[in-house]
Structure 1
Amino acid sequence: MEIMQWKVGIFLFNDVEVLDFAGPFEVFSVTTKEDGTKPFLVKTISENGQMIHARNGLKVLPDYSFDTMPKFDILIIPGGPGAREREVHNENVIQWISQQMDVVELMTSVCTGALLLAKVGLLDGKKATTHWASLERLEKEYPQVSVVKNVKFVDEGKIITSGGISAGINMSFHIVKRLVGAEITKKTAKRMEYDIEI
């Protein structure tokens, strides 16, 4: 059954890297079909639904908490200092990601968000990537993950990981192409004035 509108959830937390979530948010939000309909509905979630302070002080009020959020088709786990230093040790978040894996169509990460997926065990036996500065950590702490370097993203079917910061935009375009086709993806990239090979 084809999904008429994909519900995209973006996880937010204190010290999240801004472009890690804002890039994918923009790509999915801007995407529009020929008939003017939007194939993606993008919402944000934090653990408790309260305002988060992203990296460098940007304040963002999420749409939902873990308790109030609807079912999402696509989940985006961004990175940043908050991911690699704090959320990776947050058992509530790790358990939540594990539970979401059972219900989403696509589980994705940007930058060091891959560390959270690895902590859950979702990347075991799979290829994955992360920010270049954290590739060694991913290899060392999670030896069961096949770490791929010098790529923007790695598509393993239900799980897609992407490199640092702006690479989340490339991954998002890849998902748009996979789900709604190359032509709509090209038009979205042109609208955003983003150079990408489709």
Structure 2
Amino acid sequence: MHGLWSSTIHPIREFLIQMNSMVVLRSLKVQPDYSFETAPLFDIVIIPGGYGADHIEIENPVVINWIQARSSQTEILASVCTGSFLLAKAGLLDNRKATTHWMDIKILQIKFPKVHVLSNVKYVDEGSIITSAGISAGIQMSLHIVRRLLSEEIVTNRKITS
């Protein structure tokens, strides 16, 4: 690669990890790249939120155990929106600051009293764990991660040459 990426920086690639493929929006099929059993180690793991996170997967021990196991094998474990509920359920937010979607702040505080829940912030960086509020805040968190790992120049440069 050329441009802003040096030869020592690996390109960013994303992978989907879940238990099975699934159909969403009537006919859109989502096919995971890996299952929980076959996923390799990653530098960054981002846990998505939404209804499935705080109402369904929070009760799934396979998901919670995978998150717990990966927390010690990953440089950054991040969550978007109510994905923070899964990190809290795994015990990873105990005695840490965290945030979630504004509509779920009180619920996170009540369900997980050991978490120092912050409101009116886009994201909270606690070192190896970063939580963000809603979806747009997740984009800001992602830019923060790029800035933290690479540079401000990459985040603010709108034209990447090849």
Same fold (TM over 0.5): yes
* Structure 1, unpaired ranges of 5+: 1-31, 192-198
Q: Would you say 1:75 and 2:37 are equivalent positions?
A: no
Q: Distance in 2 between matches of 1:92 and 1:156?
A: 25
TM-score scaled to structure 2, two decimals?
A: 0.89
The root-mean-square deviation of aligned C-alpha atoms, in Å, is 1.8
Offset of 1:34 from its aligned partner? Answer: 5.9
SS state of the match for residue 98, structure 1? Answer: helix
Q: Distance in 1 between matches of 2:76 and 2:110?
A: 26
Q: Distance in 2 between matches of 1:108 and 1:174?
A: 11
Equivalent position of 1:15 in the other structure = none
Match of 1:185 among 144, 147, 155: 155
Equivalent position of 1:109 in the other structure = 79
Offset of 1:53 from its aligned partner? Answer: 3.9
SS state of the match for residue 13, structure 2? Answer: strand
5 Å-filtered alignment, 1:67-146, equals 67-146=37-116
Q: Distance in 2 between matches of 1:134 and 1:59?
A: 29
Counterpart residue identity of residue 93, structure 2: L
State how many pairs are aligned. 155
- 1:53/1:154 CA distance change after superposition, 3 Å: farther
Q: Would you say 1:42 and 2:28 are equivalent positions?
A: no
* Structure 2, unpaired ranges of 5+: none
More helix by proportion, 1 or 2?
1
Identity among equivalent pairs (%): 51
Equivalent position of 1:149 in the other structure = 119
Equivalent position of 1:27 in the other structure = none
Offset of 1:85 from its aligned partner? Answer: 0.7
Moved over 2 A (4+): 56-59
SS state of the match for residue 96, structure 1? Answer: helix
Please give the per-residue CA displacement for 1:59-106, whole angstroms capped at 9, x wherever unaligned.
321111011111111100000111111000001111110000110011
Please give the per-residue CA displacement for 1:36-78, whole angstroms capped at 9, x wherever unaligned.
x7532221111x2x22345x45432111101111111110000
Q: Distance in 1 between matches of 2:6 and 2:93?
A: 36
User: Larger radius of gyration, structure 1 or 2?
Assistant: 2
Q: Distance in 2 between matches of 1:98 and 1:137?
A: 22
